[in-house]
Structure 1
Amino acid sequence: MPSVSKAAAAAAALSGSPPQTEKPTHYRYLKEFRTEQCSLFVQHKCGQHRPFTCFHWHFLNQRRRRPLRRRDGTFNYSPDVYCSKYDEATGLCPDGDE
């Protein structure tokens, strides 16, 4: 596990959030990968569509929910609990991202 500097750990303790131990690139993928629609695909200009290597989603069923940690330390949803109303065609859960 990567080490965290004492200053970073102290700042995290004061802010109430845990120190970031992931590399910035990894953190960005964990937090943002395919959470936003590709604006170039909407314009039919995304060069990363085939093979599909685009960072953003092209179709709703590729959309990911952005994980958010609440103040109590829990996340806004559990990846282990599948939405029983999930629509495979649209990629939407009527219950939302919670």
Structure 2
Amino acid sequence: MEQKNILPRICAKPIEQQPDGTWIVRHHFRVVGKDDNGEELVTFASSEYPDKPTIQQIQRSIDRYRVSLTMYGDTISDEIEKVDLSMYMFTD
């Protein structure tokens, strides 16, 4: 069974439209190893949207993720605290 939250780095786009028309936003990428071909594998948190999300919606999703981490006692690292939203900019 394929896990959706582990992909080769080259396939893990920060934002993309899925074949069914929904959108997925991936954030907080972490390297978890390499595949058999030596490609870097990453894990990430993600949010799905029925329509193309706005930067404000993406920011709220990231904020919810950050809050959920603290609820379970995880420490917020600088990487999680300072997310660069420019990678989610897209044009119509």
The bucket for the TM-score relative to the shorter chain is under 0.3
**Higher relative contact order, chain-length normalized (CA < 8 Å, sep 6+):** 2
Q: Larger % of strand: which?
A: 2
Q: Whose Rg is larger?
A: 1
TM-score by length of 2: 0.24
TM-score by length of 1: 0.23
